[in-house]
Structure formats: structure tokens, C-alpha cells
Amino acid sequence: MKKIKPGIIVTIVIGVLILTFVGLGIRSFVLRNQPVQAATGSGGGNGSSRSAAAVRVTRVVKDTIENTVMINGDVLAVNQVSIFPTVAGKITETLFQVGDRVREGAVVAMVDPSRPGQIYSTSPVLSTISGTVLEVPAQKGDTVSTQTAVYVVGDLNTLMVETHVPERFSNSVRLGLAAQVTLEALPGESFEMIVDEMSPVLNAASRTLRIRLRFADRMDPRIKANMFATVTLVTNVHQDVPVIPRGSAINTYGSWIVFTVDEQNIASRREIILGLENESLIEVAKGLEAGDLVVSEGQNFLSDGDPVRIVE
């Protein structure tokens, strides 16, 4: 058998390797230049179609919307006064306790105006109204002046709610303004009240306006003086106006927008102007009409002209 020279074997191997690399290069070129079929969506046929975003929608309706302010207050007796002594001295006797009933002109305490080296008769402290003792700020043995309240007496047959309105809302308050009041002691219940009295000036220290409210209906006997109250003042009301859920509107660079949906389930961007608003609703002063279909959930990821899929 004829022996093959080593040089020929090397030449053959090199040739095989060259042919292999050339073949791989041709295959790669063909694959790169082969047309790729575009994936189609559920609509079929159109490779550029976008998938529909799932959204929830609500119709614009006409309703009444109220602008409210929520503040804290206290239940007080309408006729509540502090009783002061007519002379300065030491209290030698207190005749009533909290909760006791007193009559106008009744003696509630005695004050001894005596000083070292001077002895005087004790002086009575008289109640200026009939009512119930609400507080006894001074006790037997206390030294008081004519500006020291010895008793606080109030008529508990008629109660009110007193509260202080922050300065930024003070111009919205007026006599006769309606309010809703809830009490910590009576959870789940609310009471209709009306602004019956308001201070002509703001408190210089707290920058608040003191107001007092009376019950619109007969007072509930369960309500007691000094209960903690939460007052919701209705500062403005618009009736029969287009309203949408508060979360439907998006603030973009100082403007408010919503997305509406047409019969073809295509989302459209709308710029709107807001009116009154509360915790759940906003009034649309301009940009929408009653009956328009507005995206209430899922609108944050939409663009104008996107297809949508409405879900319940």
C-alpha cells in the first residue's frame, strides 16, 4: 500500500476546515437576510396592532356635590357662665359639687377677706344663673381674687357645639350654614346642626374663627356637655353638575386630564377643568358631558388612541 505523505494530510485537513467555515458564513448570511413573519395579536393579520389594556369605566352623571371642611369641637351649654367672688380672700366653704343643681341667687361658696391684723366677716359667692354645676375650679382653702372663677354653672337643657374654623376657611362660614356633627360617644350617628353664632374677628393667637352651632332638630337626651365633637361644615353646594370619581382625573404638569372610551373601545385623552370636590367625587366644570364613558381604573398607563378592554 502506497504511503500518504504527511504534507498532503495537512493540506486536506486545512481544506476541510476552510470549507466548513465558508459554509457556516453562508448559512449565517442567509438567516440574517431571511424575512421574519411578524407576530400578530388576537385581531390577526396586523403585525403592528397593540394589545388592549384592561380598564374599568364609569359614566359621567349629573349630581349634587358639596364642599366641606372637617374640624373638631366641644359640646357646651348654651347658657354657661363662670361665678366670681365679689371680694378677694380665702375660700372657707364650697357648698356644691359638679352635677348639683343650683338656683339663681343661691350661695355657692364663702370667702374670708380677712388679712393679718384685720378680721372681716365672710362674704358669700352667689350664682348668677340657675343651672347645673359643670366645674369647680377653686377649692376650700384656695386664695382667690375677684377675677378667679369659683364655679362654672350652665343650663344643660339646651346644648350647642363650639368650634374654631382655620383662617383659610373663615370666609366660607356664614350664619345659617348647615353642618353635620358626629360624637365620639355615639359612633355611627350624625346630627344636623346650623351655625347660630360667629365671632366678628379671628383669634390673634390661633388665627381661627370661633363659631357656635345649634341643633336643627330636637336635641338628643344622650348628648352631654363637654363631649368631643367632629364638625363637618358644608361650605359650598353645586346641584345638577357633571361629576366623576375623584381617582379618575390625573394631574399632568398642572393640568387635569381624563381618558374617555368610545364605541370602538379606543381611549381618548381629554383635558378638563375641575369645580368643587370632596372625598369621593369631583365636579367637571368643563371638558366632559353627562353620559361620557370615563376610565376610572387603569388610566395611568394609557396613551391617547390606545385600545382598551373594559372589565367589570
pLDDT at 234: 84
Angle at CA of residue 234, ends 156 and 219, nearest 5°: 20
- 22: helix, coil or strand? helix
The C-alpha atoms of residue 156 and residue 139 are separated, in whole angstroms, by: 23
- DSSP H helices, the chain, are 6-32
Per residue, the 3-state secondary structure of 218-258, as one string, reads CCCCCCCCCCEEEEEEEEEEEEEEEEEEHHHCEEECCEEEE
133 neighbors 97 (Cβ within 8 angstroms)? yes
Q: Topology of domain 68-75+156-237, per CATH?
A: Elongation Factor Tu (Ef-tu); domain 3 (2.40.30)
pLDDT at 152: 94
C-alpha cell at 67: 364642599
Q: Where in the chain is the domain with CATH 2.40.30.170?
A: 68-75+156-237
Nearest to 59 by CA among 260, 234, 202: 260
Nearest to 50 by CA among 60, 40, 58, 59: 40
pLDDT at 39: 35
pLDDT at 279: 80
Q: Where in the chain is the domain with CATH 2.40.50.100?
A: 85-149
pLDDT at 5: 59
- List Cα–Cα distances, 183 to 193, 231, 232, 286, 300, in angstroms: 13, 9, 12, 38, 39
Residue range 53-66+239-310, CATH number: 2.40.420.20
- 172: helix, coil or strand? helix
pLDDT at 25: 63
- Helix, strand, coil shares of the chain as percentages rounded to 5? 10, 50, 40
Torsion of CA 22, 24, 26, 27, to 10 degrees: 160
The C-alpha atoms of residue 111 and residue 89 are separated, in whole angstroms, by: 6
Name the one residue in this structure whose C-alpha cell is 470549507. 19
Residue type at position 225: A
250 neighbors 302 (Cβ within 8 angstroms)? no
Which of the residues in the chain have pLDDT under 50?
1, 30-31, 34-48
Torsion of CA 170, 215, 240, 267, to 10 degrees: 70
pLDDT in tens, 230-243: 999 988 889 999 99
pLDDT at 219: 84
pLDDT at 38: 36
pLDDT in tens, 225-281: 889 999 999 888 899 999 999 999 999 888 999 999 999 999 999 999 999 888 889
Q: Where in the chain is the domain with CATH 2.40.420.20?
A: 53-66+239-310
- 32: helix, coil or strand? helix
Angle at CA of residue 179, ends 173 and 182, nearest 5°: 135
116: how many CB neighbours lie within 10 A of its CB?
5
Domain 85-149, CATH among 2.40.50.140, 2.40.110.10, 2.40.50.100, 3.90.1150.10: 2.40.50.100
The C-alpha atoms of residue 300 and residue 280 are separated, in whole angstroms, by: 18
